[in-house]
Structure 1
Amino acid sequence: MATHDFLLGPVLSFRGIGADGTWKVSALIGLKDGAAVPTLLLEGKACAAPRQLLVIRKERYLRYDLSCAMKKTERRVEYGVQGGPTWHFTVPGRDLAPRLAYVSCNGFSDPAGMRRLVRPANTVWADLLASHDKSLRGGMLLDKEQLWHEVRIHDKGLQRFQLLLMGGDQIYFDSIWEDLPELKHWVSLSRAEQLKFSVSATLDRKIEAYYFTLYARRWLPEKRRPWGAAEPNRDAADALARIPTLMMWDDHDIFDGWGSYSPEMQRSPLFRCLFRHARRAFWVFQMQHALDDLPELADATPPGFSSQDPIYRPVAWSQRLAQDPLALPLLDGQPGFTSAFQAGPLALVVADLRTERSRTQVLGSDSWTQLKAWLGKLDAKAPPKNPGTRVQHLLFMSSVPVVHPKLSAAEALLDNLGQDHVLDSSADDLRDHWSHDDHEGERKRLLEVLSETARSKGLRVSLVSGDVHVAAWGIAYRRDLPASEARAQIQQFTSSAVVHPSLMGVAERLFLGLLNASAGSPQHLDAHSSVEMMLFPGHNRYVMPARNWLALELDEGSDRPKLWATWRCETETAFSNHLQTVAPA
């Protein structure tokens, strides 16, 4: 089959490790109206017939099972379209931690902003792919950081990364306010009229179509060279086809600022409609589940309680998805999409910070309960070995940084300058932060939960985040404990953005100055806990205003492995390397 019939994909998704040691991977492919269903081959054998996830406007989106056995050592696996192009991904060895790449903000909120870029939009993706797969380098020159990986990975015919973490804003739906005339008109209405605005059946269908069709236009653009071309595109599509992903949404996957508007606006008919269709599209395209398997959110606010913070009926996901062998390991008993994984000595929590978000809430009570229950079940009894089954490092993926400069004066100013302006996100961006006064209590709770997990399980905890369009490093720490204790320090790694411009304009540079000035002061959360920004490695400021991506890799061959974090930051002509390590517990 010709891949010119593809609307989207292939997009690889990691589904967890099966009880039999299977590395579970799926591939999403979108097909044009009338296109034949392709046969995919995995290691030379035909895959099972795909599952249909969605049909819209006679276009079909199919999910294939590319799961394969984990062996003692890592190996490179080939898959492809029968009679067409092939791709590869690398499966880690049994009971070994996968090597991770992390990106966020794969798009732009304003096309005009992309014209300010000094280098092409996909430059950062091209650098990540050159580090990942030797066959995609072309004439790109390497530096000494990349040379480190040649002997241990590339000279063995392997690829560097086994998972690609995508921490939010995989797609930007902000354009919906301009592209749909009805929504452009809505923006011009008074606030009172906006709150009463009724969504007609026709507009509902337009909004649905917008959310379900933009993914194909953004993730497999028509102007790119076709699959199988002699010269690869070195773009997001090339990465999504070669590294199994774990994706979690943030505000732009819905629209800018979702969750940080006033309770009245969040509950308005238009906002509810937009969120419903964004959620459905996220479920299909980023989580790769069938649309029919997604339950609607049901309000569960008890009588006599305020509706300011949404309370939804929890979902028994394991029952809901019991018939799906490729179901993601979503935490049972939560209404959102938080999932959790273990691979050898690494545990990974992918937290959904949008489903239940409001101005004064990040996670609902059921989500907190289930998160703590899962963390409590981590194995702390097995001896620390690598390869091994005892978790030695917990990575918590939070779309918004937990440790970040706090701008109290700016918060107060913007909070008093009005609200609910969908085309001006300044106030909403600050309200999104864990460090905002409205979320400070939950930030303390999160750090206490993670600190107690580190203590009780004898492991290290690190945070990885994006969203803020800079690279940064910070630490949450206990002032009453020696630094050598596992729970005494939790490091924060922030990497953003892979496509969106960093802070480049005049106003943004002024904001950058405020960030750096504020970052120099520790934030004391209570009598014994603090968070503090650290000077960015190899830089004389706290935040690095450059597009970037992040590698997260545990030592191989050590029973008590360190975690190595390496940022690759774009410069005008090349990339700079910035390295930080986390010692074992």
Structure 2
Amino acid sequence: MTGRVTDIADNAELQRLAGRLKPLLFLRGMEGDRVRLAALLIRPFMPELPNLVTRNGAVEPELLLSRYGLLAIRYTFTLPTGADVQKAAWYELEGTRYVVNTAYDSDLAIAFVSCNGQEEGDRERPEESRNVLWARLDAAHARKPLHLLLHGGDQIYADEILDAHPLTREWGRERGDPGSNSGAEVPEVVAALRRVLLQRYLELYGQPAIADILCRVPSLAMWDDHDICDGWGSLPNKKLDSPVGNAVFAVAREHFLLFQMGAVEGALPDVCPDPSGLSLTWRVKLPGLMLIAPDLRSERRRDRVMGPAGWRTLATALADAEDGRILLLSSVPALGPRLSLIETVMRITPIAEKYEDDLRDQWQSRTHREEWCKFLRTLLAAHERDNTRLTVLSGEIHLATRGTLASDTGELHQLVASGITHPPPPKAYAAALGALASLGSAPLKQHKIKLLPLPGKSTIYTAERNYLMLARRHGTWEAWWELESGATEKLVI
């Protein structure tokens, strides 16, 4: 099967989009009394790369990538931390000064977002209505600067890039050819995917409501399926491991590393502890806080969520945690309703087969039950250590909710915020899922799972666009949800 690469933009359009992109700022951790950061700049080709400037002087650029007349330039630098950083914690690039709140050693303000898009037609939505909550987050940062922005998955909906080439279009169909060709056309497929995914990232991250915060608040991100394609890892193995499937994954990973981690293949940032690079699990240590995000996609297959590298790096990250709070990002909820009843019905209802991959995506799928229990035991072991509390942050389900896992040392909380721009499902769907959740679940004896309404709400699931805020004040952690209808009451965690 042959086909022409679908050019949805010429180089001039890509360069125009790159010209409106602001720097992308990433957190790399602490080094003594300084915060380690990286800034990524995407620009049309220029003969001389600009320096980034801080109070300590100029920072030389590092060229990561040159493609389609564009340059990806990274700057690695440090800024001071402490009580009075507003005069010193800034960087300048291309004549603009960006102030960064790096006071990580006292009170903290953290935002958590997920599901920044939708499966079809996301590019056609008016930015003003699409980015209502991004604009609110920008305004909140202007009033009281955030310290950190966490991205819990589906930062970009890459599904439509499968239209880039006839082979990917066929591969993406529900019962399409998994890709039994010899792989001779894979370079052509890769070229087509690279171009459309690059354009999509430039379009999305250049939207002012998003760009204005990504340049000022350091980010940490973990991917989920839509950063690759819908259901990645839960699709048939023959499809995933085909030449076209390998191309889809490789191009998605390349762009995730660049735009969401400020990195390139073969040179992962030191926040990723897996020396093999198979797992993109990361951990970042701040005063009194460990941030961990296991990679639930890179090694996922229909019969597993994480592979050996993922489990090994998660154990390493949790072992590195010290006294204080652990915030663990699970891109799909770790605590959720029992799905075995639904999966049993599906086995005798052919019309529901198309939802099988969606259910396999969840920890609660009967396929993953043994691994799910292992994951919960791992979380509990960290949560029950002396002077430690673990909280799970999650997204993916396009609803807001929370849950608790019973523990001998106090409840382990899960906070779900999803999605910041994805439209919510119908309220009837939320009500049906809530009825299922009300049955309760205890995959581990003595450790019952409860799914609960948001503070001030009466139903378990809230069907509104939303994001989550977390704050550490005088050593106490609290959380609240910013719903499209307004903020919830605060919850002490």
**Does the pair score TM above 0.5?**
yes
Identify which of 543, 550, 569 aligns with 2:483: 569
- Counterpart mapping for 1:113-512 below 5 A: 120-134=129-143, 154=144, 159=145, 161-187=146-172, 191=176, 193-199=177-183, 200=185, 201-221=187-207, 233=208, 235-291=209-265, 293-294=266-267, 327-332=270-275, 335-379=278-322, 391-414=323-346, 426-478=355-407, 481=408, 485=409, 488-503=410-425, 508-512=426-430
- Give, in angstroms, the shift of residue 454 of structure 1: 2.6
CA shift digits 1:70-119 (9 cap, x unpaired): 2355546332334x3332211115x436421100111221117986x997
RMSD: 2.8
* CA displacement, residues 415-469 of structure 1 (integer Å, 9 cap, x when unaligned): 6667999xx6x33222111111112222211221121223333311110011111
Amino acid at match of 1:402: A
Listed one character per residue, the Cα deviations across residues 556-576 of structure 1 (whole Å, up to 9, x for unaligned) are 2xxxx22101111002xxx23
Gaps of 5+ in 2: 1-14
The 8 Å contact of residues 45 and 70 in structure 2, kept in 1 or not, is answered as: yes
Identity percentage of aligned residues: 27
1:11 aligned onto 2:24:
yes
CA contact (8 A) 1:169 1:251 kept: yes
In the TM superposition, residue 36 of structure 1 has moved relative to its aligned partner by: 4.8
Determine if contact 1:186/1:194 at 8 Å carries over to the other structure.
Answer: yes
> Retained in 1: the 8 A contact 2:152–2:331?
yes
| Superposition pairs of residues 21-36 of structure 1, within 5 angstroms | 21-34=33-46, 36=48
Distance in 2 between residues matched to 1:103 and 1:378, nearest whole Å: 23
Deviations, residues 346-399 of structure 1 (Å, cap 9, x unaligned)? 1111211111111221112343233223323434xxxxxxxxxxx221111111
**Could you say which residue in structure 2 is the equivalent of 1:99?**
109
The letter for the 1-side match of 2:193 is I
Q: Measure, in 1, the Cα distance between the counterparts of 2:26 and 2:316.
A: 25
Q: Which amino acid aligns with 2:53?
A: L
Q: Deviations over 1:472-504 (max 9, x none)?
A: 0101114xx4xxx2xx4210000011111111x
Residue matched to 2:91: 79
- The 3 A distance-change label for structure 1 pair 436 and 80 is same
- Matched with 2:4 is none
CA distance 1:190–1:359, shift in 2 (3 Å)? closer
Residues 1:189 and 1:336: Cα distance change in structure 2 (over 3 Å): closer
SS at match of 1:517: helix
Map of 2:61 onto structure 1: 50
**Aligned equivalent of 2:9:** none
Q: Aligned pair 1:110/2:120, yes or no?
A: yes
SS in 1 for 2:28: strand
Q: Give the corresponding residue for 1:578.
A: 489
Deviations 1:100-158 (A, max 9, x none): 1100111221117986x997111001111111113xxxxxxxxxxxxxxxxxxx4xxxx
Q: Which letter maps to 1:412?
A: T
Structure 1 regions of 5+ residues with no counterpart? 135-153, 222-232, 295-320, 380-390
Amino acid at match of 1:13: F
Pick closer, same or farther for the CA change 1:33–1:565 going to 2, 3 Å: same
Counterpart residue number, 1:385? none
Question: Which position in structure 2 is the counterpart of 1:542?
Answer: 460
Instruction: Evaluate the alpha carbon distance shift between residue 194 and residue 443 of structure 1 in structure 2; reply closer, same or farther with a 3 A threshold.
Output: closer
TM-score of the pair, normalised by structure 2: 0.88
- Helix, strand or coil: the match of 1:99? strand
Q: CA separation of 1:189/1:162 partners in 2, compared to 1, >3 Å: closer, same or farther?
A: closer
Displacement of 1:580: 1.0
- Given the superposition, is the C-alpha separation of residues 257 and 189 from structure 1 closer, same or farther in structure 2, using an over 3 Å criterion? closer
Task: Give the direction of change, closer, same or farther, for the CA distance of 1:419–1:51 in structure 2 (3 Å limit).
Answer: farther
Aligned length: 476
CA contact (8 A) 2:133 2:421 kept: yes
Farther off after superposition, 267-276 or 406-415: 406-415
Q: Which of 400-409 and 24-33 deviates more? A: 400-409
Q: 2: CA distance between counterparts of 1:24 and 1:219?
A: 23
CA distance in 2, matches of 1:250, 1:208: 19
Q: Secondary structure at the match of 2:101?
A: strand
**What amino acid does structure 1 have at the position aligned with 2:44?**
K
1:239 is matched by which residue type in structure 2? I
